Amino acid sequence: MKHRFTPLCFLLVCILSLRSEARAELATVFFKDGKTTTVELVGVERAQLLWKENASSTDVVVTPRSQVENVIFPTTEAWRNAENAFESGQLDEALKLYQEVIADPTGHFFPLPGNFASLAKERVLGCYRLQLDASKIAKQAQVVREEFFHLPPELNRIEPETAAWTAIANEKWAAALTALEGIEAPGAEAFFLKGRVLEALGRKEEAVSEYAGAYVLNFGGSILLTRQSLQRSSQLIHEMGDPDKKAELQAQVKIYRDLYGKGNLWEGAPAELASLAEGEIQPLGDAENEMAKPGESGSMEGTVVEESATVATLAAKEDRDFLLVEELDDKFYVIGAGDGNETLTLTGGVTKEGESYRFDGTGGFLRLEPFNANTPFLQLRMQFEAASGNGVLAHASEPRLGGFTLYLKEGELLMDYQPRRAKIMTAVLGKIESGKLINLAIVIRTDGTRNTVIGDLSSEDTVPAGGLKIPQMNHLILGDSGEGDESGKTLSGVSLPFFDGVIHHFSLGVGASNQEVTEKTVARFGKAVRLLPPPPETAGE
C-alpha cells in the first residue's frame, strides 16, 4: 500500500531512517503473492518494511510484514566478516563473529525474514555440524527451530542430517537411521552419520562401508570429517581382525598418517596400526582370489598369470572343494542379491545355444534380475566370444544413482564405473581378440582397488572406495544397455553398435567382502565356484 506523505512526515521518516538512507542500500523483496522487486531500503520496523522504488522517489512504501515472504538485505560488515571466516574454515572465529551479529539484532534488520541475526543462528548450527559436535548440534537445532518465523522459507526446516545428529546425541539409534533414510541423495556427512549409528549398534562391517563412503565423497571437504572417518574405520577393521581387510587397513592408516596426522596416527592408536602404517604396501593378491599370484615384480600391469590346469587333470567333482562354471547347471546368476531367484528375459536378436546365448548384433539383450549393488565388494566373471571389437557386454545403472557399463570399443575392453553421486570413471582394462574365447574376471574391493584378469593377463587400478551403493537397482542387462535405439549407449554416453557374439557365462557376486560372497556361493552351489581350474601344482588340492 502506498502513502503520499506530507513534507513534515517525510522529513520525520528520513530522520528516523537516517542510517539506512545515508547508505542508499538496495534490497530484494519477495512478496507472498509471488512478486519480487529490488527497492531502495528506507527502514525496518518490527511489523513492517519501509522502502522506495528508487533513490529519487519521494514515495515511501510501507509493507506489512504479513505480505513479505523474504528479504535479501544489503550485507553488513559484521555479517561479511563472519561469512568470510566460515567459508575459509576458521570455525572458532566464525562462531565468535556470528555471536556478535546475534547480539545486535536491530543492527541487522531483525525481525523480518532474511535478517542476519536469525541467519547467524542457522550458521552457528552449520559450524557445529562441521565440528561434528552432536551435543551442541542438538541444542542449536532447537534454537533454530524457534527462529523459523524469521528465516527464509527454504530454511524453515530441520534437515535430516541435523535430526540424525540430535538422535545420536540422545542415543536414539533407530530414530537416527529413520532420519537418514529420508535423504534422497546422501553426502559425506550422511555416510559418516550412518557409520556412527551402525558402529554404536555393533554392526562393524557395515559401519566400515559407510565410513568409506564418507571419506571418499568428502574429498576436498571438512578435514575433521575425513580424519574421523578414517580413524573410526581403521579402529573397527582392527577390532574385526579380518585378514582379508589387512591391505585396506594399511591403506587407511597410511593415508591418515601422511595426509591428516602430520606423520603420526591418532592419540591412543594401537601399536599394531602404527607398525602397519610404517610397513611396505602389501599386494592385495590375485584379481579373483582363484588365479595364481602375479610375478615377483609387485606390479600387476601386464603380468602373466600362471597357466591353469586342464579339466582332465582335475580330481573328480566330489573330491574337490570347488566347481568350475562349466560344471554348473546355471551359468548366469547373481550372488548376494536375490540369490537363486534370478529371472532371465530375452529380447529379439538373442538366441539360446545350449547353455550359452548368441547375440546377432541387431539390438537384442538379455535381462538378469533382481540385482542390488548397495555393497562395497563386487566380483564379475564372464566367458565370451566377440565377433567384432565393439559392443556393450554388461550394463547396470539407475538415473542419478550411478552404475557401470562393461563394453568393447575398437578391440579394447573398457569399463565405465560410477558410485552414487560421484563422477563417471572410464578405465581401459585391456585388449581382446575377436573370435577368441575370453575369460574375464573383475574384482572391485572396498578400499577402491580394481583387479582385472583378461585371459592370462592381469592388471590393477583404482576406483572410488566404498562400492557402487545403488540400492534401487533391480536389473542387469547383457549384450546392450537397454536403450533400444540404433546403438547401445554406455554410462559415459559412448554410442556403440550392438554386441555381436556369444556369452557363455556371466556371474556377479556382491557383498561386504570376498569372504561373504564366497560363503554365499558355497551356500547356493554346495562348493566354491571357479572360472578356471587352478594351476597344475594345486589342481588336486
For the stretch 370-398, pLDDT in tens is 666 667 788 899 999 999 999 999 998 87
Return the sign of the alpha-carbon dihedral for residues 364, 369, 373, 375: negative
- Look at 478 and 340; give whichever has higher pLDDT: 478
Helix axes 116-130, 134-145, angle to 10 degrees: 160
Percentage above 70 pLDDT, the chain? 80
pLDDT at site 474 = 62
Return the sign of the alpha-carbon dihedral for residues 475, 480, 485, 487: positive
Q: Per-residue pLDDT averaged across 27-42, rounded?
A: 84
CATH 1.10.10 for domain 181-282: no
At 403, which amino acid appears? Answer: G
Given a cut of 80, whether residue 71 has pLDDT beyond it is yes
Banded pLDDT at 310 (limits 50, 70, 90): low
Half-sphere exposure (Cβ direction) of 5: Cα atoms closer than 13 Å: 16
- Look at 301 and 39; give whichever has higher pLDDT: 39
**Where along the chain do its domains lie?**
2-72, 181-282, 315-535
Dist CA 258 CA 277 (whole Å): 9
Distance of CA 527 to the CA centre of its chain: 34
374, three cell numbers: 548397495
Residues in CB range of 82: below 8 A, 6 or more apart: 94, 97, 98, 100, 101, 120, 123
Dist CA 64 CA 400 (whole Å): 43
pLDDT at site 295 = 33
Mean pLDDT for all residues in the chain? 80
- Hey, what CATH topology would domain 315-535 get? Jelly Rolls (2.60.120)
410, three cell numbers: 575398437
- Look at 307 and 442; give whichever has higher pLDDT: 442
CA distances from 354 to 103, 125, 231, 314, 504 (A): 79, 64, 52, 24, 9
Whether cis (ω within 30° of 0) applies to the bond prior to 464 is no
- CATH for the stretch 2-72: 2.30.30.100
pLDDT at site 306 = 43
Given a cut of 60, whether residue 541 has pLDDT beyond it is no
Whole-angstrom distance between the N-terminal and C-terminal Cα of the chain? Answer: 91
pLDDT at site 124 = 95
Q: How many helices (H) and strands (E) does the chain have?
A: 14, 26
- Look at 58 and 483; give whichever has higher pLDDT: 58
Mapped onto helix, strand or coil, the DSSP state of residue 5 is coil
| Contact present, 288 and 441 (Cβ < 8 Å) | yes
| 74-76-79-85 Cα dihedral, nearest 10 degrees | 110
Residues in CB range of 115: below 8 A, 6 or more apart: 44, 71, 73, 105, 108, 109, 150
Given a cut of 80, whether residue 3 has pLDDT beyond it is no
Type and span of the H or E element at 230? helix 223-240
Backbone angles phi, psi at 495, to 5 degrees: -95, 130
pLDDT at site 536 = 58
| Contact present, 389 and 411 (Cβ < 8 Å) | yes
pLDDT tens-place string over residues 5-22: 444 444 334 434 433 333
Fold agreement (181-282, 315-535): no
CA angle 134, 139, 141 (to 5 degrees): 90
Q: What is the DSSP letter of 152?
A: -
